[in-house]
Amino acid sequence: MSPIRKQIRTRSQNPQIFRGAQELGFSALQARIIAGRANGQGGYGNLENVLFPALKNLHHPELLQDCGSAADFIVEAIRGRQRIGILTDYDVDGICSHVVVHQSLRHFAVSEASLVSLIGHRMQDGYGISASLVDRILALDKTPELIITADCGSSDEPQISRLKAHGIAVIVTDHHTIPVEGVPSSALATINPSRQDCLYPDKFISGCMVSWLLMCLVRSRLIGCGMLADDTAKLSWLLDFVCLSTVADAVTFTSPTNRAVVNSGLQVINQLTKPAWTVLAKQLGKHQKNPFTVEDLAYQVAPRINARSRMADPYAALNFFMAGDVRRADEHLQRLEKNNEERKITERHMVKTARRLAGKLNESRKSSLVVSDGDFHAGVQGIVASRLVDGFGKPAVVLSPVLAGDVLSGSARTIPEVHLLKVLQKINERHPHLFLSFGGHSGAAGLKIKKKDLDLFCAAFEETVQEEIHNRNLEPVIMTDGDLEVDLLNLQTLAELQKLEPYGREFEEPAFAGIFTVTKTRIVGAEPVHLAVKLENNGREFQGIWFNALESPGEQQAINEGTTIRCAYKLKLNDFRGQRNLQLLIEYAEPQ
C-alpha cells in the first residue's frame, strides 16, 4: 500500500491568550505555544492556574455530587468492620484507581482481610460491571457488604441492581459519560464529574482522580469523628498513581487539576520510594539526572501495565504496584515485560492487517474505518485503532471475536471533530437492539455487537460519522506551531519549551514545520523500520530520527539523500555518553 500523504498545518492562535501569557511573564515563543492550545474541549479557564498548576488550587471533593454521602457510607462501613469490595476496570486508569482505594483504606486502618479486589478480565468479562463478574462475586464464600467501583459503573444499572438484590451496596466512582437513562438508580451514590447536577468545575479528570478525591474526603470524615488521628498523613503520597492514570487515560492537559496532579505525581514517582518505581527506574535507566517524564509514563510504563491487563491476568499489574519489597516488585515486573513483548508482536501483526483493510476502505472514500478479522486480539485493538486514526485521519473501530466468535468486541478512536460516544448513542437510538453494550467518552469508546450485525454496524457508523462531519472529505493532518527560525534550533529553545510542561492531550508537545535538505539516511532499529537522518538548513546540520518511517522492513524510503523535504518535527535532547545534543524527532516528512 502506498504511503498516505498528510497535510502539515499550523495551529491558529488565540490573540487574547497570547497577550495574557506574555503578561504572566512568558516569552513570545512560549506565548505562541500556549495560544495555539486554547481551543480544546477543556478550555483554559483561569490561565494563571493552568500555567502555574498547584495542588492548593484543587477544588473541594464535596463539590462532586454524592461525594459527601458516599464518604459517610464508607465511614460507617469502616466503623462496622464490613467487608469492602473494590471493583475497577483492567486498564491503567482502573488499576491505578484500585491501588488508590485499596492503599487509602489500608491507611485508614482497614484490615487486609476486610478487603476484596474485583477486576474484570478483558477477554472473559469485558468492560465495567459485567454479568459474568457479578456471577463470580455472588459465588464468593464471603461476599462483600459494600462495593466501591472506580473508573466504571455509570452504565451498569442492571448489574448493580442484581448486587443490591443480594444485599450488596454499591458506590460508583467514575468519569465516563452518563448514559441517557441517567445515573444507576440502585447505587447508594454515583460520583461522576460528568453528571449534569455535579458542581465540580473540572469535568475532565481521570477515574483515578475521582476515587482519590473521595478517599481524601473519607480521611477528613474519619478524623472529624475521631476514628483517625488528626495528624494522619494526607494522601499526596498516592498522587503517583493519579498522575499515571491522568497521562494514560488521555484526559485534557488544559485542566489546572490534571496539570497539578501530574506535576506533583511525577515528584512522588521520582523519589523512588515505592518498590514498583524503583525496579521500573532500573529497567528503564531512570535516575536523578534522567528522571521519569510524562513521555516515559505514556510510552514506557502505561503499555507495560496495559499489556498484562489486556492480554492476560489484570491482577498481575495490581500486585506489581502494591508489592511490598523490591524483590517481589521485580518478579512481577518480569511478568509484565514478557507480556509486553508478546503484546508488541501481536500489535505488529494486527496493525499490518488492519492497515491493509483500512486502506481498501480509504480508497473507496469512506469517512470511517471499521475493520475486523478472526485473528485479531481484543487486548490491543484500542492501540491498533489509534494507529489507523493517526495514519488515515478518520474515526476507526477495530473489532475482535470473543465468546467463541459469535460476538465482536470493538475499540473505537477518533479525530477531534467527531465525538465518539455521541455517535454511538445516535446509532443506539436508531438501532436499539444493535449493541450488546457500549460506553466511553469523546475520544475513545468500547462496544460489543453480534457478529451477524457487523454489516449493519459498519453502515450505521459510516452514516453517523458523515452527519457529524457534514459529509466533507477527511484526510490525515499533522498540526504544528509553524516554522521555527534556524537560529532557534538549539538546546536553549528546548529548555524554554520544557518550562511549559506537562504536555499531554489538548496541550500537546510543540511541533514545528521546516524545510531541510537530507544529507544522510540510515535505517536503524531491532526491527529496521526507523530512519536516522542528517538534515541541513542554511549551512547548519542537525541530527534527526524518524520512528516507524517504514511500514515494514525492506520498504522503500519516503525520503532519500539529496532530497529537499518539508517535515513536522519536535525538539529533543540526545544525551549519549555524556554528550548532550539537539535532535529533531520527525513526525512526518515528504519531498518538497
Q: Where are the domains of the chain?
A: 7-11+478-591, 59-238, 365-468
State how beta strands 530-537 and 369-372 pair: unpaired
What is the C-alpha separation between 457 and 434, in angstroms, rounded? 7
Mean pLDDT within 46-51: 90
Can you say whether residue 182 is alpha, beta or left, with left for phi > 0 and alpha for psi between -120 and 50 degrees? left
* pLDDT of amino acid 41: 46
Indicate if the pLDDT at residue 2 is higher than 90. Answer: no
Cell 457534514, residue? 470
Give me the chain's average pLDDT, please: 92
DSSP 8-class letter at 141: S
Residue type, 428: N
pLDDT of residue 312: 65
What is the reported pLDDT for 311? Answer: 64
pLDDT at 443: 83
Stated pTM of the model: 0.90
* Nine cell digits for residue 519: 544529507
- The number of beta carbons lying within 10 Å of the beta carbon of residue 348 is 14
At 341, the pLDDT band (50, 70, 90 cuts) reads confident
pLDDT of 133 > 70? The answer is yes
pLDDT the model gives residue 398: 97
Domain topology for 7-11+478-591: OB fold (Dihydrolipoamide Acetyltransferase, E2P) (2.40.50)
> Contact, 93 vs 151, CB < 8 A?
yes
* pLDDT at residue 178 greater than cutoff 80: yes
- Tell me, letter by letter, the H, E, C secondary structure of 15-42: HHHHHHHHHCCCCHHHHHHHHCCCCCCC
pLDDT band of 530, cuts 50, 70, 90:
very high
Q: Residue 12 and residue 480: Cα distance in Å, rounded?
A: 10
Distance of CA 577 to the CA centre of its chain: 33
Q: Is 271 helix (H, G, I), strand (E, B) or coil?
A: coil
CATH class of 365-468: alpha beta
pLDDT single digits (tens) 382-405: 889 999 999 999 999 999 998 677
**299 Cβ neighbours under 8 A, 6+ residues apart:** none
- CATH code assigned to 59-238: 3.90.1640.30
The answer on pLDDT for 437 being more than 80 is yes
Residue type, 368: S
Cα of 79 vs its chain's centroid, Å: 36
Tell me: the pLDDT tens digits for 220-230? 999 999 999 99
pLDDT band with cut points at 50, 70 and 90 for residue 310: low
